[in-house]
Structure 1
Amino acid sequence: MPPADARNGFGRVRPQWSLARLLFVLQVVVVAVVVLAGTALVWYGAKQRNEDAARDEVVAVARTLAAQPDVAEALAAPDPAAVLQPLAERVRADTGVDFITIMSPQGIRYTHPDPARIGQPFLGHIEQAVAGQVFTETYPGTLGFSVRAVVPVHDGAHRLVGLVSDGITVESISQELEQQVGVLVLVAAGALLVGGALTYLVSARLRRHTHGLRPDELSRMYEYHDAILHAVREGLLLVAPDGRVTLCNDGAGVLLGRDPQDVEGRRVTELGLPESLADSLGAGTVRDEVHLTDERVLLVNVSPIRSGGRDLGSVVTFRDHTELQALSGELDSMRGFAESLRSQAHESANRLHTVVSLVELGRADEAVAFATAELELAQQLADRVVGAVGEPVLAAVLLGKSAEAGERGVEVVLTEDSEIDEVDLARVDSRDLVTVLGNLVDNAVEAVVERPHPRVEVTVRSPPEGVLIRVADNGPGVDPESARRLFARGWSTKDSQRGLGLALVGQSVRRYGGDVEVSHDGGAVFTVRLPTGSDVVR
């Protein structure tokens, strides 16, 4: 069954034409109307010109004939017809007019193409000519409708002695016009064919662009398209081959921190995006690539668009992975805590077995001494961290990372000048602290794990201007060239992995308007300063 909007009030199906066909029919009608109207105007103009030319011709012939002295003399003769009839017929044959009538001032004919009508009254108006005026008119005479002129004839004393009238029939004018109309019709038919062919080409191109859809389908598609663009939370960009953004939905505006109307029409290099992200938008196909902006972690996909062998640009989608990345970081921390508890449980079991064995061997004093020494060593680290770091999240991160690094043979030490209270961190999100400290410690441990006597020193302090975190290691350090790229997305000291750890550190630091300093002091030294005043940038 056809759709409801395809039926009229009588239940009959209306033709469902595509937009291209509707415009084709409309254009053909417009071209036909224009061509026919133009043809009619040209025909009317030609008709008027022919009639004007006929009037000018008959006036000229009549004036010339009336000015002949022989005509005035013949009108004064006893038998004017005998002299004037041969003269009038000769002039009529030479000029091509249809009739020449020379008459008396009273309108009695002396000449006529039909000799039988000589002596009869002239059919037409002569009053103006009798009054001395030259005039023309279209009048039905003995030969039918004709365009005629009537001219007075004066003698040497300027007395009216007769009248001269000549004319061209309307039928003769029409025959001449028909010859012109034939050419005009051919030109009009050619214009109509050319216009129709061009209209068909335009219609075919439009059909390709609209895919043969009807106007109501195109309208619905636009409404759905607009609704979807505003409804989806994913960011969507359409980027032209020249790198200019042609479409930006609301989701992309939010994720990029820009007004969608401000984004559209600009090149991707003009949007203030991180260099790596801007490069990826023009790099062809990209699948689930992670990029960092100052505020968010984005999962980026780029798909080129091609149609009919033509490059139409690319579709870019963004998904916000900021919260997921934060949860992933917290999960990694929890996993680290669990691993450290497992390792501590393993060590505790080994120590307990040692103590039990010493007791069984009857060496109770040695068992007590061994257990006490191990407890003191473990407690010293916990007491040192808890005493210096009043913030529970930082303390937990340090204890977990220390245990995890210790299992890998790396010593993590909290420096003596470390001291920070919970109140000092009122303006800093604990998740950002975990991100900064955890990733810096992980990076330092990775740098020294294969070196002799691996050691990582951590300093956490809260000077008046904010929070200071320093992580130093005795690894190979960082060369100046790498230092400039440390906090870019995916940079890693390991060739086999392109991590996000240091990039996330840089993002967190920028979010608070802080800074990161990288130096070399027997190894790499990372110093992070986070302001905690009222002017913190979030």
Structure 2
Amino acid sequence: MPSADDRNWFGRVRPRWSLARQLFVLQVFVVAVVVLTGALLAWYDAGRRNEEKAADKVVTVARVLAAQPAVRDGLTAPNPTATLQPLAERVRAETGVDFITIMSPAGIRYTHPDPTRIGQPFIGHIEQAVAGQVFTETYSGTLGPSVRAVVPVYDDAHRLVGLVSDGITVLMLTAELRERLTVLVVVAVGALLVGGLLTYLVSARIRRHTHGLKPAELSRMYEYHDSILHAVREGLLLVAPSGQITLCNDGAAVLLSLDPVETEGKHVSELGLPQSLVETLATGRAVRDEVHLTDDHVLLVNVSQIRSGERDLGTVVTLRDHTELQALSGELDSMRGFAESLRSAAHESANRLHTVVSLIELGRAEEAVAFATAELRLAQQLTDRVVGAVGESVLAAVLLGKSAEAGERGVEVVLSADTEIDDVDVGHIDSRDLVTILGNLIDNAVEATMESARPRVEVTIRSTEDGVLIRVADNGPGVDPGSAQRVFQRGWSTKEDGRGRGLGLALVGQSVRRHRGSIDVHNEGGAVFTVLLPAGADVAR
């Protein structure tokens, strides 16, 4: 059954033609109408000009003939016909007019192509000529319809002595017009053929671009295309081989903080994106689940090339938001490290318990008590210091977990004397961002001190008038001043291989920017990272 899209206003089924074919038929019809209209107008104009030319000719011939002395003398002669008929016929033959009639002021013919008509009244109007005017008209006389002129003839005393009329028959004009008609028809047919050929070429091009689809199919395809682009949460970009953005859906605009209307048509380097992402989009190389960081998001980027035959159409880029998953992964890593530290601590506690039991079995009870008390005091001191200074449970858990993990690697993590923070001070900060900032800074510091003789990391967390300050200092080799601006870029690492590295500090920088904060890097015996998160700042999401 035909669908509603296949019916016209009258309920009849439309022809199942593609858009290209419908446009071809419409364009041929338009070309035909234009050519035929032009031909008819040209025919009408040619006829009008032919009549005007004939009128000018008969007036000229009549005026010249009326001004001849022989005509004036003949009109006043006793037998005007004997003198004027030969003259009139000779002039008619020379000028190509169809008739010349010389008559009296009363309209009685003295000359005529048909001698039997001589002496009879002139058929037509002569009143204006008798009144002294030269005029033309189309009138049916003895030779049929003709374009004629009537001119008065005056003697030397300016008295009206006769009239001169000549004319060209309409049949003669039509014959001349037919000669032009042949040329007009040839031109019209040629124009129609050329127009049809050009229309066919345009139609073929449209068919190639529309793939032979019908208008209803194109309409549905556009509606589905537009709906899908606006509905999907994933970002979608189409990038031309030259690097210009040809399509940006709503998801991509949100993830990249762009205006989709202003984005399309711009080069990827003009969008203010991170340099690593610009290079990925501009080069057009195929990538799969490549991680890129913007100011507000962690993105998984996929790039695929698209081709049509041998023609390169550019690349299609999909963007997926990995921000929350990355934050959760960071929390999970921290909790996993904390759990691993607890497992190790439990294992160590078991070893120490065995030591205490062995000392008791050997009868050295006092030594067993001293050993157990010392170990308990050291472990409890760190816990009491963290719990007493840090009232926010997430920060306390991160500090304890990272301290235990670092302790296993032989690195001492301590809190500075001025560390003091509670949950009210950090209530405006997302706990996941706290884990990201503090956890990654400590991990980076621990990694940097591994080559030191007595590796040590000092952590400071306190509330200030400007907001929350987090400071992590180590006694490692420090940061090259020339690299201080690049440490928060994805992929930066002091390790030679660099594989799998450089993401932690980049996530720190992203979290700080999201909270409108600031971060400073300098050296004081080792690297010192200072983060300030303003109080009450709006979080960019």
Q: Is the TM-score greater than 0.5? A: yes
Change (3 A) 1:120 1:292: same
Higher mean C-alpha deviation, range 237-246 or range 516-525? 237-246
1:195 alignment counterpart: 195
Change (3 A) 1:94 1:536: closer
Counterpart among 500, 504, 509 of residue 503 in structure 2: 500
- The amino acid that maps onto 1:496 is R
Determine whether 1:382 maps to 2:379. Answer: no
Per the alignment, residue 523 of structure 1 pairs with: 526
Partners of 1:223 and 1:413 in 2: CA distance: 62
Change (3 A) 1:11 1:31: closer
- The aligned counterpart of 2:257 is 257
| 1:469-490 residue CA offsets vs partner (Å, 9 max, x unmatched) | 2222232221112221101123
Distance in 1 of aligned mates of 2:167 and 2:423: 120
Alpha-carbon separation, structure 2, partners of 1:171 and 1:7: 53
- Stretches of structure 2 lacking an aligned partner (at least 5 in a row): none
Aligned to 1:273: 273
What stretches of structure 1 move > 6 A for 4+ residues in a row? 8-12
**Aligned partners of 2:452, 2:222: CA distance in 1, in Å?**
63
Amino acid at match of 2:428: R
SS of residue matched to 1:387? helix
1:410 corresponding residue in structure 2: 411
1:176 matched to 2:176? The reply is: yes
Aligned-CA RMSD value: 2.6
CA distance in 2, matches of 1:476, 1:10: 85
In the aligned structure 2, how far is the partner of 1:236 from the partner of 1:91?
89
Q: Deviations over 1:334-368 (max 9, x none)?
A: 11111111111221222233333334444444433
In the TM superposition, what whole-angstrom CA distance separates every residue of 1:174-215 from its partner, at most 9, and x where no partner exists? 111111222122222222222222222222222222222222
Tell me if structure 1 keeps the 8 A contact 2:5–2:216.
Answer: no
CA drift at 1:508: 1.8
Q: Indicate if the aligned counterparts of 2:300 and 2:322 stay in contact, CA closer than 8 A.
A: yes
Task: Tell me which residue corresponds to 1:236.
Answer: 236
Structure 1: how far apart are the matches of 2:10 and 2:100?
69
Residue aligning to 2:402: 401
Alpha-carbon distance between aligned partners in 1 of 2:188 and 2:45, rounded to the nearest angstrom: 15
Counterparts of 1:125 and 1:300, CA distance in 2: 95
1:462 matched to which residue of 2? 463
User: What is the SS of the residue equivalent to 2:291?
Assistant: strand
With 180-189 and 112-121 compared, the bigger mean Cα shift is at 112-121
SS at match of 2:199: helix
The C-alpha deviation readout for 1:124-181, integer Å capped at 9, x for no partner, is 2333333333222222222222111222233333333332221111111111111122
Moved more, 411-420 or 56-65: 411-420
Distance in 2, matches of 1:7 and 1:421, equals 72
Alignment correspondent of 2:425: 424
Which residue of structure 2 lines up, in the alignment, with residue 76 of structure 1?
Answer: 76
Please give the alpha-carbon distance, in whole angstroms, between the structure 2 residues aligned to 1:8 and 1:433. Answer: 65
Q: Which amino acid aligns with 1:192?
A: L
Counterpart in the other structure of 2:290? 289
Look up the equivalent residue of 1:104 and give its one-letter code: S
| More off after superposition, 299-308 vs 506-515 | 299-308
Displacement of 1:268 in angstroms is: 3.8
| Matched position secondary structure for 2:186 | helix
For normalisation by structure 2, the TM-score amounts to 0.91
| Deviation string, structure 1 residues 369-414 (Cα, Å, up to 9, x no partner) | 3333322222222222223322222221111112112222322223
Query: Deviations along 1:429-476, whole A, 9 cap, x unmatched?
Result: 322221111101111122233544333222333334332222222322
User: How far apart, in 2, do the equivalents of 1:104 and 1:402 lie?
Assistant: 138
Partner of 1:315: 316
Aligned to 2:348: 347
In structure 2, the partner of 1:59 is 59
In structure 1, give the amino acid aligned to 2:499: S
Q: Distance in 2 between matches of 1:94 and 1:358?
A: 154
Letter aligned with residue 117 of structure 2: R
- Residue 215 of structure 1 is matched in structure 2 by 215
Alignment-mate amino acid for residue 46 of structure 2:
A
Using structure 1 for the length normalisation, give the TM-score.
Answer: 0.91
The whole-number CA distance in structure 1 between the counterparts of 2:131 and 2:257 is 95
Deviates more, 1:174-183 or 1:280-289: 280-289
Is 338-347 or 361-370 further displaced after alignment?
361-370
Q: Corresponding residue for 1:42?
A: 42
Number of residue pairs matched by the alignment: 537
Instruction: Return the letter of the residue paired with 2:458.
Output: E
Deviation at 1:303, TM superposition (A): 3.6
Amino acid at match of 1:368: V
Match for residue 514 of structure 1?
Answer: 517
Q: 1:418 to 1:327 in 2, by over 3 A?
A: same
Deviations 1:91-119 (A, max 9, x none): 11111111122223333333222233333
Q: 1:374 to 1:217 in 2, by over 3 A?
A: same
Letter in 2 for 1:528: V
Range with bigger deviation, 307-316 or 377-386: 307-316
CA distance in 2, matches of 1:417, 1:199: 84
The separation in 2 between residues aligned to 1:514 and 1:127, in whole angstroms, is: 107
Q: CA deviation at 1:309?
A: 4.7
Q: Which residue is equivalent to 1:436?
A: 437
Q: Which residue of 1 aligns with 2:141?
A: 141
Name which of structure 1's ranges 374-383 and 298-307 shifts more when overlaid on structure 2. 298-307
Unaligned stretches of 5+ residues in structure 1: none
**Equivalent runs, 1:315-334 vs 2, <5 Å:** 315-334=316-335
Residues in 2 aligned to 1:259 and 1:329: alpha-carbon distance in whole angstroms: 31
CA distance in 2, matches of 1:10, 1:218: 22
Aligned-partner SS, 1:184: helix
Query: In 1, are the aligned partners of 2:297 and 2:322 still within 8 Å (CA)?
Result: yes
Structure 2 Cα separation of the partners of residues 126 and 87 of structure 1: 22
Aligned-pair CA distance for 1:2: 4.3
- Alignment partners' CA distance in 1, 2:335 and 2:353: 26
Question: What SS class does the counterpart of residue 167 from structure 2 fall into?
Answer: strand
- Provide, for residues 228-265 of structure 1, a one-character-per-residue CA deviation record: whole Å limited to 9, x for no partner: 22222222334455544444333233323344345445
Distance in 1 between residues matched to 2:371 and 2:436, nearest whole Å: 38
Q: Secondary structure at the match of 2:424?
A: helix
Quick one: distance in 2 between partners of 1:340 and 1:410? 13
Identity %: 77
**What code does the residue aligned with 1:232 have?**
V
How far, CA to CA, are the matches of 1:528 and 1:456 in structure 2? 16
